[in-house]
Amino acid sequence: MAPQLIFYNTIVPFLAGSLKLLGPLFPRLQTFFRVRKNLFQELEKIAAANHAEKSPRIWIHAASAGEFEQARPIIAEVKKARPDASIFISFQSDSGYTVYQNYADARAVFYHPVDTMENAEKTVALIRPDVVMVMRYDFWLNHLYASKKKGAILILAAAVLREHSIYLKPFVREFYQYLFSLFDAIYTVSNDDRKRFAKTFRRNDTLKAGDPRFDQALQRSGNTDRIGHLKKHYEGTTLLVAGSTWEKDENLLLPAYISLAGYLSMILVPHDVSRNNITRLEKNLESAKIPFARLSSLPDDFSADRVLIVDRVGLLAELYALAKITYVGGGFGVNVHNTLEPAVYGIPVLFGPKHHNSPEAEELVKIAGATEIHDNASLLHALRRLVENPGERKAQGRIAGSFVQSRLGASKTVAAKLLNSINGLSD
């Protein structure tokens, strides 16, 4: 057994036990262990129901919902070619599991077990994966090792290796060199990532496939049925759709909207759609004397001179299709949210200055497909320019749309490896 694995297994059981004891003091820790309490009983039922099944079995792990978005177009490609493939999906976070627990293409969706050697051997024995694919990061050494030991092909997809990553630090680097050596194939988002895997971890076979999120953005843009009833309200208007907004974003958006009254319509899609947050937003609109309506109680006489508040989740990617201009929130907080969802429609994108953890947002700014906003004045200036100059607005939108179109195809590349792996099982 490799020394990295021995060392890892002296730490993990102790750490897991300690965290479990601390659970009552920390609600998130308590939730972590509570949702895994009956995990193996559930997996045993799934295994018993599918014991005689001979179809190929693919286990996909994602840390959370965001990482799983990268897996969705890959799964679609695999299922298109091999509808008989059984897909097992695990999540580390409760948010990912909650959103995708009923995912239609999955045979089972479950929480990833605590990464002890015993748990890993149980999980692999029950799932019996032919292929294990990890999205981006969230590596659990015992489960990878146990899968490899049982003959599974290991694939790392949408991998990113930043210049100052903790993986590159002394001692940690040796651990990850062993971990990455377990993978049969590694597909990176960028060529720089590929070079770092080759140089630091001696993975000269690493391939740059691109980011599957571009494919996912395109797939989602093809389905706007759920917002079709809103189109009639915005015909002939210049509509701003502001998505994933936080209070700091809204504090800039509302004054700009007032300044452009009569020239701009707006849909607000807050990041937090809880009752308290929607009530707060409504009070702010009332204070500013801005008329509004909630989507959940849309009046028959609704018109585009009212701000529409979207008080439910899951519609934002479709709502961008209605827009002439888009604003993506989060750029005045930790990091801007998804900028690909609006860019795929060929629409100008605006967002705040904190976007350095989003390579696509940085690139969009660099090529003038997006505008970085710093304050009230810069937002008003950008909006006025785009409202008053339709030609400039369309040109900026074309840049954003071309940016997405030129980066499609990662999903097909990774899916081809998956399909080759499972098709080879019968050889």
pLDDT at 163: 84
Q: At what angle do helices 65-81 and 410-423 cross, to 10 degrees?
A: 60
Three-class secondary structure assignment of the chain: CCHHHHHHHHHHHHHHHHHHHHHHHCHHHHHHHHCCCCHHHHHHHHHHHCCCCCCCEEEEEECCHHHHHHHHHHHHHHHHHCCCCEEEEEECCHHHHHHHCCCCCCCEEEECCCCCHHHHHHHHHHHCCCEEEEECCCCCHHHHHHHHHCCCEEEEEEECCCCCCHHHCCCHHHHHHHHHHCCCEEEECCHHHHHHHHHHHCCCCCEECCCHHHHHHHHHHCCCHHHHHHHHHHCCCCEEEEEEECHHHHHHHHHHHHHCCCCCEEEEEECCCCHHHHHHHHHHHHHCCCCEEEHHHCCCCCCCCCEEECCCCCCHHHHHHHCCEEEECCCCCCCCCCCHHHHCCCCCEEECCCCCCCHHHHHHHHCCCEEECCCHHHHHHHHHHHHHCHHHHHHHHHHHHHHHHCCCCHHHHHHHHHHHHHHHHHC
CATH superfamily of 219-405: Glycogen Phosphorylase B; (3.40.50.2000)
Residue the block writes with tokens 């004045």: 377
Q: Are strands 131-135 and 57-62 parallel, antiparallel or unpaired?
A: parallel
Angle in degrees, CA 163, 91, 152, rounded to 5: 80
pLDDT at 426: 53
pLDDT at 1: 66
Which CATH architecture does the domain made up of 3-210+409-426 adopt? Answer: 3-Layer(aba) Sandwich (3.40)
CATH 3.40.50.11720 placement within the chain = 3-210+409-426
Give the other-Cβ count within 10 Å of 140's Cβ: 23
- For 39-51, what is each residue's pLDDT tens digit? 999 999 988 877 6
Backbone angles phi, psi at 130, to 5 degrees: -85, -30
CATH 3.40.50.2000 placement within the chain = 219-405
Residue ranges of the chain with per-residue pLDDT less than 50: 427
Closest CA to 189 of 422, 407, 425: 407
pLDDT at 25: 86
**What pairs with residue 268 in β-bridges?**
242, 309
31-52 in b/e burial notation, b at 16+ Cβ within 10 A? ebeeebeebbeebeebbeebee
pLDDT at 376: 96
Angle in degrees, CA 191, 410, 340, rounded to 5: 90
pLDDT at 224: 87
pLDDT at 395: 97
pLDDT at 427: 44
pLDDT at 324: 97
What predicted TM-score, i.e. pTM, was given to this entire model? 0.87
Residue the block writes with tokens 């494919």: 215
